[in-house]
Amino acid sequence: MECNGGIFEVREPDEQRIPFVFNSPHSGRCYPASLLQNSRLDEHAIRRSEDPYVDELFGAAPAIGAPLLLAHFPRAFVDVNREPYELDPRMFDGPLPPYANSHSIRVAGGLGTIPRIVAENMEIYFGRLPVEEAIMRIEEIYKPYHARLRKLIAQTHTRFGLGVLVDCHSMPGNLNASGGRNRPDFIIGDRYGTSASAELSRAAMSFLEDLGFHVARNKPYAGGFITEHYGRPSRGLHALQIEVSRALYVNEATLEKRSDFSALVSAISSFMRQMAAFVEGFGEATALAAE
C-alpha cells in the first residue's frame, strides 16, 4: 500500500475560473511500511478510518476550474483535520511539548492529530510511540499540508475577492441524523453558520436535494478543525464541510466500489457546477456575508 507520489497532491485547472478550493484530507491510502509494522491492525482493518475514494468523487474540480488538494498519507498516520498538537500523552514515550492540547474531546476519544484508534475503537498500535515520531509527522506532513491549503485559499481570495473552501469527507452509511427516519446521503456542515454564509449552505442543500438526495445540516457533523479554522465569512472566506454516505458508493465491509460509483461522481460533478454558478452571481466578497 505504500506509494511514491508524495505526501499530498494539488490537481490544478489550466486556469482557475471559480473562487473554490476543494480539499480531500482523509482519502489518502498510501500506508507507510513503518505504520503497518507497528500496528496491531491488518492492511484492511487499518483502512476503517479512510474516506475512501472521496478524492475521486470530487475529481471533476479541475475541469470546472478549481484546484483540488488531496492527501496521499492516511488519516490513521496523521489527521490534518485537527489542531496541530492535539496529542494523547498516553500514546508516547517522552514528554509532550508544553503547548500540546492533551485535553480535547477528540484526544479523549482517541482521534487526535496522531490517532490512537480507527473506527469502532480499534487500537492502532501495539505500544507507545517515541514522542519524536509525533513531532516528525506534524513537521513533515501536517504543517506542509496546511501551508499548501492556506496558499490555495489566499490565492483564490486575492484573485476573486471571495474564497469558498469545500472540505470533502465521507460518513458511515448507517448514520441516523437528528433522530429522523431517513438516513442522510449528505451532510453540509458550516459550524452552525459561523464558517460560511447560511445562504451558501442552503444553496448546497437545495442543489443536492434537487438531485434526489436526502440532506441534513450540521448534525452530527458540523465541521472539524479545517472548516472552523479557515472559514471567515465576514472577510469573504467561506468553508463548508460535506459528508457523503459511504453506502452510496462502496461496499462498506470490503471498500470495493459499487457498480453505480460513476453515477454518484456525475451527480457530485453536477452539484459542483451548480455551486460555481450560484457563487458567480455574487460580484463582491461581502455579498455572501454570514447571517
Domain ranges of the chain: 8-81+131-288
pTM of the model: 0.94
* Rounded Cα distance, 248 and 117, in Å: 25
pLDDT band at 284 (very low <50, low <70, confident <90, very high): very low
Backbone angles phi, psi at 250, to 5 degrees: -135, 160
Buried b vs exposed e over 39-62: b needs ≥16 C-beta within 10 Å?
bebeeebbbbbbbbbbbbbbbbbb
CATH of 8-81+131-288, one of 3.40.630.40, 3.30.390.10, 3.30.1490.20, 3.50.50.60: 3.40.630.40
Q: CA separation (Å) from 291 to 195, 201, 223?
A: 11, 11, 18
Residue 127 is predicted with a pLDDT of 96
Decide which of 128 and 5 is more confident: 128
Encode pLDDT of 189-223 as tens digits: 999 999 999 999 999 999 999 999 999 999 999 99
In the structure grid, which three cell numbers stand for residue 4, read together? 511514491
Contacts of 110 (CB under 8 A, 6+ apart): 88, 116, 117, 121
* pLDDT at residue 285, rounded to an integer: 42
Alpha carbon distance 13, 60 (integer Å): 10
Q: Looking at the predicted structure, is the pLDDT value of residue 286 above 80?
A: no
- Check whether 3 has a pLDDT greater than 70: no
Other Cβ atoms less than 10 A from the Cβ of 73: the count is 25
Beta strands 122-123 and 129-130 are unpaired
**Does the structure show a pLDDT above 50 at 24?**
yes
pLDDT tens-digit profile of 243-281?
A: 999 999 999 999 999 999 999 999 999 999 999 999 987
Q: What is the mean pLDDT of residues 18-42?
A: 97
Residue 291, pLDDT score = 41
Q: How far apart are the C-alpha atoms of 66 and 46, rounded to whole Å?
A: 31
Q: Looking at residue 281, what is its pLDDT?
A: 78
Question: Which are the contacts of 24, defined by CB distance < 8 A and separation ≥ 6?
Answer: 51, 54, 55, 58, 68, 69, 70, 71, 168
